[in-house]
Structure formats: structure tokens, C-alpha cells
Amino acid sequence: MPSIIFLHGLLGTNADWHAVIEKFAEKAPQIDCIALDLPLHGENKPVEVTGFEQTAQFVSQQIQQKIQNKPYILVGYSLGGRIALYYALQAQWEKGNLQGLILEGANLGLKNEQEKQQRWQNDQYWAKRFMKENPETVLQDWYQQSVFAHLTEQQRANLIAKRASNCGENIGKMLLATSLAKQPDFSEKVRSKSLPIYYLLGERDRKFCQLAKQKNLHFSIIPNAGHNAHLENPVAFAEQLRRFAFEIAKVPL
């Protein structure tokens, strides 16, 4: 069976995946699960990048250090999913023995220059705030965005407390380096026959559920969860992840 490599989202760390990995191991102990810290996050906070290419190269180096040339599946949430898409579909170097992608809440890209300009302005606004303001103040506003509208006040408070120590100038730099405005549009490539690509989506994540239906993606819905389904319902997420992983590896459940 291939190993599973996990990439967290903006503001996260490898610890975000611990609950999923724990539940996954109960059903599939034969599969190695490895969660990485992205550049400018967690243990790799000192590692700076200027764009998707450098970020993908860093991920490639980390994977090689962890598993050498063994087969693997790449799992990515939000920013981690967008990096996984770039890594698999855009970067020109050898990907090793990559077997497939499993993505959660990852935007495929923007269609036109107007959308990209609007997103760039928005990301510059947030990056400036992350660099200059108190983490708790910025995060309080960050988690008011529409994609987090389903959160309760307690869930929002828990996330702010969880993210504050990882938040600062580093997050502003990462937001600018990997802005959606700089990402290629993978809407067509995502249906590549050469690489299996699956989506996991929280049922309350209306934006990305709609996107998955519009783009005719291969997806599964995680109940009782929103945009961050792996944190909100790790049990259901781990079970569906196991099903997709076995399907990619062509091994019966």
C-alpha cells in the first residue's frame, strides 16, 4: 500500500491531521501516514518561499526524505490542496511514485484576470493585517469570512486559540507567495486520466460542494462538517479517506 502524505492549510500545522491519522490507523494500520509542515508554518516557520514552484520543491524534498522512492498518495486541505495540485499537475520535475491526490476544500483556480486582480487585492489586505496586527484581532475577523459562516462562536474561539501561536508575519508572507491569484487554473487538468484525483467536502461547505458538482469532480460528502471537515468530523473523514486510498491503490476494502 502507498504511504499517505498530508498537507495542512494556511495557518495550520502537521498536528491538524493527528485525529484523522489516529482514526485511519485503527482501520488501516498497514499504511504509513506522514503529516508535513508547510514552509513558514510550524517547525518550518523559518523556511521562506516566494511562490508555488519553491513551495512544491520544498514539499518534494520533504517527501523524498521521509519515504525515498516508495509509492504515495498526497492529501491536501485548502492551501495544502492547492499546493498538491500544483505539485502534481504543474511542476516539471519527477514526482517519484505519486499514485493520486485526495483534496479537501481546494480551489482549482481563477478563470480571468479580473478575478485574479480582485483576489490579489484581497490577499494583500489580509497579508498586511497578518504582518502588522495582533494575531487574535486578525483571526477574529478572518474566521468571519463566508467560508467559515457555519462555525459556532465556540468553534470560532477554539480555532483562534489554536492558530494564534502560528500567526504573524510568516502567514502574511505565505499568503502572498501562494495567493490564488498566482495559481494556474487546474479546472481542466484536474480531470486527467493519468492521475486519480478525489475530493472530500464537508456538507456545510456550500461553495466547494457547488464547485465539485459544476466541475463534475469525483467527490464524497463528509456529514456534520463544513470547510474544515478533517477537524470537524475526523472519524467520517478518515473512513472516506481510507476508501479513496484503497481505490487509488486498487486494493479491495
* DSSP secondary structure string for all residues of 33-64: EEEEPPTTSGGGTT---SSHHHHHHHHHHHHH
Q: Where are the domains of the chain?
A: 3-111+185-249
For residue 150, give Cα distances in angstroms to 10, 141, 145, 199, 212. Answer: 19, 15, 10, 20, 19
Pick among 3.90.110.10, 3.40.47.10, 3.40.50.300, 3.40.50.1820: CATH of 3-111+185-249 = 3.40.50.1820
Q: What is the residue type of 150?
A: H
Please give the average per-residue pLDDT across 198-225, as a whole number: 91
Strand partners, 73: 4, 100
The string of DSSP letters for 149-200 reads TT--HHHHHHHHHHHGGG-SHHHHHHHHHT-GGGS---TTGGG-TTS-EEEE
Provide the mean pLDDT of the chain. Answer: 93
Q: Which of 184, 226, 164 is nearest to 87 (CA)?
A: 184
What is the pLDDT at residue 91? 78
| Model pTM score | 0.95
List b or e across 166-187, with b for residues whose CB sees 16 or more CB atoms inside 10 angstroms. bbbebbbbbbbbbbbbbbeebe
What is the pLDDT at residue 250? 87
What is the pLDDT at residue 158? 92
Asked if residue 53 has pLDDT above 90, the reply is: yes
- Residues 62 and 159: beta-carbon distance below 8 Å: no
Position 214 confidence tier, pLDDT thresholds 50, 70, 90? confident
